[in-house]
Structure 1
Amino acid sequence: MEDHTKIEPTAALVMIWAREMYGTGSPGRFYSILDLSAGEKMKAECDVACPWYNQVTLNRKWMIHRLAGEFIRGADGPCQVILPAAGKSPLALELLDDHNDRIRSVIEIDISGMEEKKRLYEKASPEFAGKISCVTADLFDLPGVIEAVRETGMYDPALPTVIIPEGISYYIPPSLLSGVIGLFSSPDHRNTVIFDFMLPCRLVNEDRRKFPKGIWRVINHDCNPDGTVTYTPEEIEETLKDAGCTRIDLHSMHFIEKDRTGGNAFFLCVEDGWTVIVEGRLPLSNYHRECEI
């Protein structure tokens, strides 16, 4: 595609599944300049395993957007948004479209592709590009993440902050997940972290386990040979508590689907789902205090 930016297969796959979310506004303009062809082969393979898997992605992204919006609207003053492992998701533009006057800045972090993403923002949404900093850093190097975030000049630890490490809990160990989250706790505000995680198959109804197994067999074969990291509710709560989180809330696909669509076509009960959205309040943690952001 001429003048379109090609993205890697897994990112393209997720964007294909989420297509109906990006029809208008700044996210729509961003979406329209992406070349998603690298995800078509994986999409065809995933369709064999679960032809309606886009519903999981739509539920997940819809709920994360909703919870982030609730935090931003309810905060006492301007907010900032932190997006670890941001990839090519246009979540920053979704939130700015809805809450521009409430968001002071958005800081995106990833190991590569950040200069290119900044150019995409400038092309798709120049009115918001100045509020978004795209930082190159490796989440496995937490001191390096701290330094890179500090160097943007945009991070203010005194501002209410929502941290959204969407899509990374499947790929990194619990200790690193809690470390990344703990970087952005605050002594003065009750920040919030929102992200998705996957349950072990034993907690999913037996006749539904074939769907996540089939999908992740495709994804792991292509890009994640170490396999998928899963959490029980107790394990995710422990991981978040290690980061300093309190008041941890879990949201199942059953209830998200009902809220998003008005009914349940795919997740008739809680145990039919394998992806969960978690929200945790994040006061000051020992890790944050030691790192002195």
Structure 2
Amino acid sequence: MELLDHKLKVAPTSALVLLQTRSLYDSGIAGQYYDLLDFGDVRELSSGIQGAWPHFSTVVLYRKRFIRHLLETYLQDGKPVQVCILGAGLDPISLWLLEHHRQAISRIYEVDAVHMPVKSSLYARLLPGEPALHFIQADITDTLHLLDKLRDAGYSTEQPALVIFEGIIHYIPDELFLNTMQAFRTPNKTNVVLMDYLLPEHKVPAAERPVLRDLMARMENFIGGKMYPYERREIFRLVELLHGDVAGVDSLQDIEFKLNGRNELFYEDGEGFLEMIAFYL
């Protein structure tokens, strides 16, 4: 099959998020990439979640925009760094990085258990001959082999890396998170991890809890598994167990203010069910 002549049907978990963030990639190479994707199988679920929680798309957009904000913060030191995207799926953040921050990046490693051969083929056609891009098909929780596969692709444990761990931790228990992050520990804490986490029910305003319960039930039914929320002190404990240092943590109201210069939707702790953190490792 000629991939550029057919829409690529996107796996539902990837499609659910990608569908909400189409507006971030409405031009350039990433816009061309989106035009190759078929979101048909997930539109009904997306509409259902949006109906139950009208802020769903906004929160996903804020998460994506804040990852960009954090990347721009940590890509200003002058010396090119490695970028490692764990659970990369079909998200085109690499295309955005290469379009806007090419000189700040030495190499990009996209890692996922699925999609990587197809994504590599699509990227090679859209951005032929780009030496920075490396695609690794691997289970990110298979820590016996993850670091070896990264090294085989050229990843250096001696050079600083930005590790993007977006939209993942709420699908795995804390022991798998710890095992995965062990691969990125450095003696001088020169790596930076950027990630989000979903808050537990008792950390959101009482009026919002039925919405969170409904959202969690929909997602667990959708993925056929359990979701793992974390409160801030639990995330801090995990970072401490990794001997890392927290660089910054932001509630959704913090994120909205930093992105927009004002708050229009989120004012209370726990609103939006999401927080984001950057930590040195």
CA distance in 1, matches of 2:278, 2:116: 26
What is the aligned residue count?
278
Q: If the length of structure 2 is used for normalisation, what is the TM-score?
A: 0.93
Give the equivalent residue in structure 2 for 1:286: none
Q: Match of 1:186, SS? A: coil
Q: Note if 1:29 corresponds to 2:28.
A: no
Give the equivalent residue in structure 2 for 1:139: 140
**Pairwise mapping of residues 178-217 of structure 1 onto structure 2 (< 5 A)?**
178-188=178-188, 190-217=190-217
Q: Note if 1:44 corresponds to 2:43.
A: no
Q: Match of 1:271, SS? A: coil
Q: Note if 1:3 corresponds to 2:6.
A: yes
Contact 1:111 1:139 in 2 (8 A): yes
Give the equivalent residue in structure 1 for 2:58: 55
Give a deviation string over 1:221-268, Cα, whole Å, max 9, x none: 111x33210111111111122223113421111011122223222212
Q: Match of 2:165, SS? A: coil
Give the equivalent residue in structure 1 for 2:236: 237
What letter is aligned with 1:136? Q
Q: Offset of 1:202 from its aligned partner?
A: 0.5
CA distance in 2, matches of 1:118, 1:205: 43
Structure 1 segments (4+ residues) deviating >4 Å: none
Q: Match of 1:164, SS? A: strand
Q: Offset of 1:54 from its aligned partner?
A: 0.6
RMSD: 1.7
Structure 1: unaligned runs, 5 residues or longer: 283-293
CA distance in 2, matches of 1:212, 1:120: 36
CA distance in 1, matches of 2:151, 2:190: 20
**Pairwise mapping of residues 70-219 of structure 1 onto structure 2 (< 5 A)?**
70-74=73-77, 77-126=79-128, 128=130, 130-152=131-153, 154-188=154-188, 190-219=190-219
Give a deviation string over 1:170-210, Cα, whole Å, max 9, x none: 11111111221221223356210000101111010011223
Q: Which piece of structure 1 moves more, 77-86 or 238-247?
A: 238-247
CA distance in 2, matches of 1:78, 1:187: 20
What letter is aligned with 2:84? I
CA distance in 2, matches of 1:112, 1:164: 17
Q: Offset of 1:270 from its aligned partner?
A: 2.5
Give a deviation string over 1:26-63, Cα, whole Å, max 9, x none: 22122121111121111121122112311110111111
Out of 63, 68, 71, the position equivalent to 1:68 is: 71
Change (3 A) 1:101 1:141: same
Percentage of pairs with the same residue: 26
Q: Offset of 1:127 from its aligned partner?
A: 5.7
Q: If the length of structure 1 is used for normalisation, what is the TM-score?
A: 0.89
What letter is aligned with 1:201? E
Contact 1:158 1:189 in 2 (8 A): no
